[in-house]
Structure 1
Amino acid sequence: MDLRQLEYFVAVAEERSFTRAAARVHISQSGVSAQIRQLERELGAELFERSARAATLTVAGKAALEHARAALAAAGAVGQAVGEVTGLIRGRLAVGMVSGCTLTPLFEALAAFHGEHPGVALSLREAASDRLTEEVRAGALDVALIGAAAPPRGLEALTVLSEPLALAVPPGHPLASRRRVRLRDVAGHPVVCMPQGTGLRAVFDRACEERGVRPSIALEAGAPDALADLAARGLGVAVLSASMTAAYADRLVAVPVEDAGAPALLALVWHPAHGPAVRAFVRHCRRTFGADPGAHPSGAPGRTFS
């Protein structure tokens, strides 16, 4: 007997019809019948009681059915195991990351993955978080490190950093003496922030919408350094994450936003229908980023959530 015969046998048993089984396995009815007859000869017993209306299992057929299913499942598992090994020998892994990212754990994960699976071709590209998310959904990227207000729907995610919003203003600014502010306090000042499509902007926009605040967006820039320079020159209140402000303590005052709502997230995202290379890379990311999303990972601060 061979696997093809077992496949046809299971199809007839489940469909209770040679005609429907033939359509299911995409061959002629006579072909299915011939293979089942050959299987019955090899087993020395009839597997079906045939009538014009249905094909029903005999006692021997019922005894054989679960074993046939198990054999097909085992064969499928062999194929999957070989496919996964092959994918980790000569596959590909396309990784995306937010623009300007210099997070050491991501690069450590890439290096560890490459050391373990040198046959997998790696690619790495930068873009804004919304673009990266769509490319993961579309399959153009296998996995991406994004900034977001919440994990994207329909994708699996690993949160590696969770931080509240903070403002950065020069020492002489009216908000500099405040221990903390509310979003409505920001509305009275020009704001400099990242453009739409970035994680920080998504968090800021959502918080303002929930509080009924309409901020005055004066200037936009895609890099935290640029936002800090603009704020230091008095051109607006910079909207950053809490850890970002630490890099500019020599010229800007950080002011927490108490009603900013949900924190800004930095997350690794991938499609649920992922392959072995993605699973292996995510495993390395879990190790290098650590289990605590509240702890700032090693690497240059102020370079995330784009």
Structure 2
Amino acid sequence: MAELSTSLETLPIPDIRRLEQFVAVAESDTLAVAAARLFVTQQALSTAIRRLESELGVTLFDREHRGLTLTPAGVELLRNARPLLTGARHLTRSVRAVAAQQPPAFVVGHSPALSGAEVFSIIEPALARHPDISVTARPVFPAEFVDDLRSARVDLVLRRGIDTPDEVTSTVVGYQELRLAVTSDHPLATLDKVHMSQVAGHPVIVWAPERHSYYTDFLVAHCRRSGFEPNLRIDRVQGTPPTTAVLVDLTACAFVTAPAGPAHGGRVIVKEFTDPPFTPVQALWLSHTLSDFRTDILNSAPDRLSPEGA
């Protein structure tokens, strides 16, 4: 195989079609399954993979054992080829849209922990600078983030988190103040402001178990730093505004970012904390894609979300 080059400009560029064939083989149990998926013969597919290896100057599959086993170089190529192929499809879509003078809607996916109103506040400054852009916002559950980005069902994901999943790029776009939602007849509803220690002894509703959600882990860690172990309950209704959680579990409270005051016709009261915690809002998008509108969202959101001194 070829030696490593010290200059990126002299390195070969892999053929997109062969990259697509490589991904199909890597994701299939056998070469026959991959060939059927691509509607080509096994011989043609095998030849294409060997040509890709020759182009790159590496071995992608270990052929000394039965089955299709990726080499370390093959693992690295698979990890980066998927977002690159999706980026190429995004390019085709955007070029066709410009030619047709019909730009597609920019789709913002958001976790159930973020409300539609909060999503609008994040994208509003960019909307003012892009009057030709139409936007669709829709809830996306955490397990679907990466797949929806890869398949172009969404262009950007907003969630509460800080880790970066494989195949995507991320940044924290700001922080939001946490408050406490309770029913109007809850013992904490009579307080002017709530001290974090006063949450102890009251069940806390979360949207995913501990160690299954960064947001849950963040809330649990904050409770522990305040000196108590929270009694967690999982919300039985997913996808509705976070303030509705306490209407289903009347004895519990829920951490929310909704404005302080009454909600849902006065049945829910959102209380401020005396020393409020702030939770991050993270944006996720696909590597190898460009969007002026997305860049404007990322650049303008921090000024609107970040608390003073955060």
The alignment's TM-score, normalised by the length of structure 1, stands at 0.49
Q: Which has the larger radius of gyration?
A: 1
